[in-house]
Amino acid sequence: MKVNGNSIRPGNVIEHKDRLWVAVKIQHTQPGKGGAYLQVELKDIRDGTKLNERFRSSETVERVRLDQKEYQYLYAEDTGYTFMDTETYEQITLGKDLVSDEQAVYLQDGMMVTVESYEGEPLSITLPEHVTMAVVEADPVVKGQTAASSYKPAQMDNGTRVMVPPHIETGMRIVVATVDGTYVERAKD
């Protein structure tokens, strides 16, 4: 779909120079001389290279809509990660180039993820915002610390370390944000 160069927003995917780019940052600029333009920082979806480009309001760009489909995570192999379409039971294996190491540590059996694809080619996955994990090791509470700002390190069942409040102990289950790996709350199960 063709759109005006000024209507690009962060997160939009556009086709530019025969490649797919996602808009990371935008800045409207109105110089003293000449017409206004939109300065856009673009990131290539496939290889992650960056490009800064100027788009004037008179220019049009091709905005791309990515297909999003829910898949269930099954297992990991040396070659990649296998997911299943819950409607057709069709399985796809995504390489380690599409699933980052930061995302892979949060994958759990049966977890539902969103796979974004363009013309049948998978491009990326999106994990749920939060995951529930078990604490396998937590440092003891240091007496005299105030509860307001004192967090302690804890090791999760997937091997990651998370800073948790003092009341969290070994064996408890907590909710962790998948975006940055921070403690959200104690699990309600």
What does DSSP say about strands 67-76 and 13-16: parallel, antiparallel, or unpaired?
unpaired
Query: Do the domains 67-126 and 130-186 sit in the same CATH topology, yes or no?
Result: yes
> Is the separation of the CB atoms in 139 and 36 below 8 Å?
no
- Return the domain boundaries, the chain: 2-64, 67-126, 130-186
**CATH for 67-126?**
2.40.50.140
CA angle 10, 117, 102 (to 5 degrees): 70
For residue 89, the model assigns a pLDDT of 93
Q: What pLDDT sits at residue 144?
A: 65
Coil/strand/helix, residue 134:
strand
pLDDT at position 31: 86
Structure confidence at residue 136 (pLDDT): 93
Q: 4: closest CA among 47, 36, 42, 45?
A: 36
- Return the pLDDT at 131: 94
8 Å CB contact between 29 and 38: yes
- As a CATH number, domain 2-64 is 2.30.30.30
CB-CB contact of 79 with 31 (8 Å)? no
In this predicted structure, what is the pLDDT of residue 145?
Answer: 61
Residues of the chain with pLDDT under 70: 142-149
Q: What is the pLDDT of residues 76-129, one digit of tens each?
A: 998 899 999 999 999 999 988 888 888 899 999 999 999 999 888 898 899 999
User: What pLDDT is stored for residue 58 in this prediction?
Assistant: 86
pLDDT of residue 176: 94
CATH 2.60.40.10 for the 130-186 domain, yes or no: no
pTM score: 0.75
